[in-house]
Structure 1
Amino acid sequence: MHVRDLYDEAVAGMLARPVRSALTTLGTVLGITTLVVTLGVAATAGNQIVGRFDELVATAVTVEVPRNAHKPLVTWDAVDRLTRLRGVESAAAVSESEEGTNLSVRSNDLVDPTRVTARSLTVLAATTGLPQAVRGRMVQGRFYDAGHVQRADRVAVIGDETARMLGVTRLDRAPAIFIGKHAYTVIGILGDLGREKNLSSAVVVPPTVGSRFGLRDVTRVLVNTSLGAAGLIAGQAPAALSPGNGDMLQVISPPSPTRARDKAQDDVNALFLILGLVSLVVGAVGIANVTLVTVMERVPEIGLRRSLGAARRHIAAQFLLESTLIGLVGGVIGASLGVVVVVAIAATKQWTPLLDAWLAVAAPVAGAVVGLLAGLYPALRAARMEPVDALR
């Protein structure tokens, strides 16, 4: 049997029942469309996840400074050397200690036995670049400057949660808070923190004032870098902060965005791929069922062809080619619809659509393979029919 004749017979068999063939193809279309959409949306969503990661975490570097009994490893002015490095956008030195935690802070010096006026809060010292380093903004007032630090003014900046707990709502009358027995003027409220969100319930004072609470030495340095410069700054920061003792500092830098993107995309792909395969299996079952029904309906035709000299392989090839063509057509249509849906979803969310080129090519091939496998059993059953039994 010539290949062209085989193709003509297969196409004629498909077009003889166009509605049934269309409905059978629809199952493959839905399966391939779901597969392409899930993989495309997974890749696009994975890219967006890493995009959010890049915007904040991938540019945040933290340097942990251990305490030294002899002399501080990092001085307060070392941050100025760090900010001169190319790629550093902002940096701040922070001092925390056990003595500065759970301190009694109150908004007035009156003792009212009927209500709680004091709160146990954390007091820490920081350099003037803290708001930029923690990606926050001053909700009210301003942060203290170099003049406050040099004069050792008793000023404080409180977090927005601290302001709520202490009832500080306005700064135009220079409200004061009491830490222990001493009063400190609140000049600003810090909020909308991108990192170090624990500062929202803390009190920040200048380094020259923090020594009263045991906040003498720098314990951490918070650094924000340009996108892509975190790895370089992580290697240069110890030497800039503490020349000669850089190996004693611990640098916490973000993982590689590329690895994070791949891991996020693999996790999302694994989830959505299962859904796409389930839909594809449903389409394959539909093709197998319809092909088997077609074989049963065309038993007289099969008997006549066998009587006229058609071999078993000819009958099997005809039905296999029919089911393969149905799967191929469904794969082409499904791949096209899937690409359109992925682009539409990305446009709706204002995302950048990501879709591997091989997927658009492999989807029709997958549809053809599904059709081939689905028609295998019906084709073998048709080929095993004896001419006499089929005609009878």
Structure 2
Amino acid sequence: MHPRDLLDEAMAGMLARPVRSALTTLGTVLGITTLVITLGVAATAGNQIVGRFDELVATSVTVEVPEDAAKPLVGWDAVAQVTRLRGVTSAEALGESKKSANLSVRSNNLLDPTRVTDQTLSVVAAGPALPAAVKGRLLQGRFYDAGHLARKDPVVVLGQQAAKMLGVTRLDRAPAVFIGNHAYTVIGILGDLRREKNLAGAVLVPPTIGKRFGLTTVTRVLINTSLGAADLIARQAPLALSPGNEGMLQVLSPPSPTRARDGVQDDVNALFLILGLVSLVVGAVGIANVTLVTVMERVSEIGLRRSLGAARRHIAAQFLLESTLTGLTGGVIGASLGVAAIVAVSAAKHWTPVLDARLAVAAPLAGALVGLLAGLYPALRAARMEPVDALR
């Protein structure tokens, strides 16, 4: 049989029952559409997951300064050298010690037997840029600035938890806290810390005041970087802070979650791929059932063609081509609907659609392959019919 005649016969068989052919194609359309949507949405969602992970990529660098050094390794003004590095968004120095970790702090100088007025809190010396360095915000008041440092003003800023423990809720009356025998004016309350959350329970003092509590040297430097610059800044910061002594400084930089990000993206893609393949199998079963029913209804046609000289391979090729064309048609329609659905979902979620051109080409071919495999058994069954039995 000439290939063109075989194609004409297959097309005639499909168009002879247009409603049934449309319903049969619908199964493949749904399967391919689901497959394209799931793979496309998986790629798009995976891209969003990658974006979320990229936001969490290590952008925080901490430089630890040993306290037992023979001389101060990092000065309070050395932070300015770090902020000049390209990729640094904010940085500030901290001064802590074991002696200032448990100091008695009270909100007034009166002895009240009905309540606990003394709290054991940590006193930490920090520079004026600390709110940005710890990624926090001032809940009330303000943070001390260079003017407070220059005048050596006795001011402090309380962490959110420390203010709650001391009962400091309002700053409009310039409340004071007492550390030892000295009173310090509370000018701000710092909270919502995304970094160094332990500072929420501390009393923050300027470096000029910190000297009273033995906080004379820098023990830590907190650095925030732009995306992707953490590794470079981790190598450059020690040299900028203490030239010649950079080997004595310890740099802490969290590892990049690239491996975890790739693993999550692969898991999402695998999950959606399984769902798409299940939908495609359902469509293939539908094609196989309808094609088998078609073969049983066309027994007389098969017998007549066999009696007129058609070979078994001609009968098998006709039904295989019919099912393949059904699958191909469903694949083309399904791929088009799937791409449109991906774009619609991405627009609704304000995502960037990720479309693989290979998927748009492979989807119709997958539909044709599904149709071919689904029509294999019905075609072989039709080819095995004897002309006499079929005509009877």
Relative to the length of structure 2, the TM-score reads 0.88
Tell me which residue corresponds to 2:77: 77
SS at match of 2:49: helix
For the pair 1:143 / 2:143, whether they are aligned, the reply is yes
Tell me which residue corresponds to 1:2: 2
For this pair of structures, how many residues does the alignment match? 392
Show CA shifts across 1:350-388 (max 9, x none): 222222222222222222222222222222222222323
For the pair 1:90 / 2:90, whether they are aligned, the reply is yes
Show CA shifts across 1:93-124 (max 9, x none): 22344444465544334455555555554443
Indicate how the Cα distance of structure 1 residues 176 and 217 shifts in structure 2: closer, same or farther if over 3 A, else same: same
8 Å Cα contact 1:67/1:219 also seen in 2: yes
8 Å Cα contact 2:50/2:265 also seen in 1: no
| Distance in 2 (alpha carbons) for counterparts of 1:333 and 1:252 | 55
Tell me which residue corresponds to 2:356: 356
- 1:1-392 matched pairs, under 5 angstroms: 1-55=1-55, 57-101=57-101, 103-115=103-115, 117=117, 119=119, 121-179=121-179, 182-211=182-211, 213=213, 215-253=215-253, 262-392=262-392
What is the CA-CA distance between 1:45 and the residue it aligns to? 2.5
| Distance in 2 (alpha carbons) for counterparts of 1:305 and 1:159 | 91
What is the CA-CA distance between 1:79 and the residue it aligns to? 0.9
Please tell me the residue identity of whatever aligns with 1:135: K
Indicate how the Cα distance of structure 1 residues 61 and 23 shifts in structure 2: closer, same or farther if over 3 A, else same: farther
Indicate how the Cα distance of structure 1 residues 170 and 306 shifts in structure 2: closer, same or farther if over 3 A, else same: same
What is the CA-CA distance between 1:293 and the residue it aligns to? 1.9
What is the CA-CA distance between 1:158 and the residue it aligns to? 2.2
Please tell me the residue identity of whatever aligns with 2:159: G
235-244 or 213-222, larger mean C-alpha shift? 213-222
Please tell me the residue identity of whatever aligns with 1:325: L
Show CA shifts across 1:261-308 (max 9, x none): 644432321222222222222212222222222222222222222222
| Distance in 2 (alpha carbons) for counterparts of 1:82 and 1:106 | 36
| Distance in 2 (alpha carbons) for counterparts of 1:359 and 1:337 | 13
User: What is the alpha-carbon root mean square deviation over aligned residues?
Assistant: 2.8
Please tell me the residue identity of whatever aligns with 2:24: T
What is the CA-CA distance between 1:331 and the residue it aligns to? 1.6
8 Å Cα contact 2:177/2:184 also seen in 1: yes
| Distance in 2 (alpha carbons) for counterparts of 1:273 and 1:118 | 62
Give the number of the structure whose alpha-carbon radius of gyration is greater. Answer: 2
Please tell me the residue identity of whatever aligns with 2:229: A
SS at match of 2:247: helix
| Distance in 2 (alpha carbons) for counterparts of 1:293 and 1:180 | 94
143-152 or 31-40, larger mean C-alpha shift? 143-152
Indicate how the Cα distance of structure 1 residues 46 and 321 shifts in structure 2: closer, same or farther if over 3 A, else same: same
| Distance in 2 (alpha carbons) for counterparts of 1:334 and 1:118 | 72
Show CA shifts across 1:213-246 (max 9, x none): 5544433322222334333222211211222232
Please tell me the residue identity of whatever aligns with 1:76: W
What is the CA-CA distance between 1:81 and the residue it aligns to? 0.8
8 Å Cα contact 1:46/1:261 also seen in 2: no
8 Å Cα contact 1:32/1:367 also seen in 2: yes
Please tell me the residue identity of whatever aligns with 1:247: G
SS at match of 1:170: coil
| Distance in 2 (alpha carbons) for counterparts of 1:274 and 1:104 | 62
SS at match of 2:203: strand
Taking every aligned residue pair, what percent have the same amino acid on both sides?
80
141-150 or 101-110, larger mean C-alpha shift? 101-110
What is the CA-CA distance between 1:349 and the residue it aligns to? 1.9
8 Å Cα contact 1:331/1:367 also seen in 2: yes
356-365 or 55-64, larger mean C-alpha shift? 55-64
Indicate how the Cα distance of structure 1 residues 314 and 132 shifts in structure 2: closer, same or farther if over 3 A, else same: same
| Distance in 2 (alpha carbons) for counterparts of 1:370 and 1:98 | 72
What is the CA-CA distance between 1:197 and the residue it aligns to? 3.7
Unaligned runs of 5+ residues in structure 1 are: none
Indicate how the Cα distance of structure 1 residues 279 and 78 shifts in structure 2: closer, same or farther if over 3 A, else same: same
Indicate how the Cα distance of structure 1 residues 254 and 344 shifts in structure 2: closer, same or farther if over 3 A, else same: farther
Indicate how the Cα distance of structure 1 residues 201 and 391 shifts in structure 2: closer, same or farther if over 3 A, else same: farther
SS at match of 2:135: coil
